Amino acid sequence: MKINTDTTWAYKIQHLGWGLVILIGVVASVGFLSLYSAAGGNIDPWASKQMVRFAVGVGGMFIVALIDVRWWYRLAYPMYLGALALLVIVEIMGHVGMGAQRWINLGFIQLQPSEVMKIAVVVALAKYFHAATPADMKSIRFLLPAAFLIMLPVGLVLLQPDLGTSLMIIMAGITMFFLSGAPIWMFLLGGGLVLASLPLAWMFMHDYQKQRVMTFLNPESDPLGSGYHITQSKIALGSGGMDGKGFLQGTQSRLNFLPEKQTDFIFTLWAEEWGFMGGVFLLAILGAIFVYGASVSLKCRHAFGRLMAMGLTVNFSLYVFINIGMVMGLLPVVGAPLPLVSYGGTSMLAALFGFGLILSCNVYRDSKLPRM
């Protein structure tokens, strides 16, 4: 079978993956509408900034998509080291907010290095596993450096402290191990060790982290305190009914009963106003993004592109799963934003950068990469 190696601009634009671009635009538009509603029918202060960030991010996404994937292969480790350096910097001179030191103030944006690292660790592991053989994937000596690539940033993120993001990095790393063909017994052993270490982990958790777990197990025990967020979220979700209360008509959000309505609980605001059908519509679009990303991965002729595209797609989907599960009370509240919808600069730009890499895999799916 002849491999198409056409590199003209017309070919690149044609094979950019416009279906995915449209889906991304639809999800972002849901975010704009929700942020407009969260401000009581005002474009400021959230929707206007989010639209500017999206415009800048989409421009960057197209640039990333049109850069040959072989360049991203070469830059995988430097990108990882750069993100690691940012995590070190945030420990030294980071901005403290809400009891955690997670941001670097760049003036025009509050950069959260952990968001960058979630992309960088996937790209670095995709390069590491690119030329792995079945024998390599059974070798502890080969897998240990890959585990180190995951645990080093996890340790730095835990110092912030940010347990939720640490778990996200670990899950992204586990996904890369699984996609690369690591033996099942390793996952079973790892799961057993995690379960056995839970009592020890509980001892080292901060009080507010323990309280989140207890609230998840019984939110009604303190409905006006630690359980307030999830209780109000459930009320808003239920009050939306089948077709919602209507745009700008959500009482829980308009009367400020719903906390963090522009960030972590924005899906609840959307579902209250647009109802069950609106929630299903958004989940269907997010699901279509997962299918599209998986399709790009399957079309790649090189392992680096397959692993990177699928890893980034799963990483995006994990955020969706955790955020939706969190606001519905199915998971503990961990502060995970809904990608492209929740208000946040670094989260938005990191997601679009990741999509740019996926699109690059689509454009250059027939490229030949070195097996080393």
pLDDT at 278 over 90: yes
pLDDT at 65 over 80: yes
The answer to pTM > 0.75 is: yes
Query: At CB < 8 A and 24+ separation, what contacts does 228-236 make?
Result: 228/259, 229/259, 229/260, 229/265, 229/333, 230/327, 230/329, 230/333, 232/257, 232/258, 232/259, 233/258, 233/265, 233/268, 233/327, 233/328, 233/329, 234/328, 234/329, 236/268, 236/269, 236/271, 236/272
What contacts 212, CB < 8 A, 6 or more positions away? 226, 332, 333, 334
When mean pLDDT is compared over 58-62, 258-262, 343-347, the highest value belongs to 58-62
State how far the Cα of 70 lies from the Cα of 20, in Å rounded to an integer.
Answer: 22
Q: Mean pLDDT across the stretch 218-238?
A: 71
Q: What letter would DSSP give residue 45? A: T
Of the candidates 207, 206, 229, which has an alpha carbon nearest to the alpha carbon of residue 216? 229
Question: Does residue 354 contact residue 312 with C-beta atoms inside 8 Å?
Answer: yes
Q: pLDDT tens, 82-110? A: 999 999 888 887 665 555 567 777 766 77
Q: pLDDT tens, 163-218? A: 778 888 998 999 999 999 888 888 888 788 777 777 776 676 667 667 767 666 66
- For 248, other C-beta atoms within 10 Å of its C-beta total 13
What contacts 361, CB < 8 A, 6 or more positions away? 69, 296, 297, 300, 305, 306, 308, 309
First to last CA, the chain: 25
Give the three-state DSSP class for 104.
Answer: strand
Q: pLDDT tens, 105-132? A: 776 677 888 889 999 999 999 999 998 9
pLDDT at 157 over 90: no
What is the share, in percent, of the chain residues with pLDDT greater than 90? 48
Give the domain ranges of the chain: 9-363
Q: Which residue has the higher pLDDT, 198 or 350?
A: 350
Question: Does residue 272 contact residue 236 with C-beta atoms inside 8 Å?
Answer: yes
Backbone angles phi, psi at 200, to 5 degrees: -70, -40
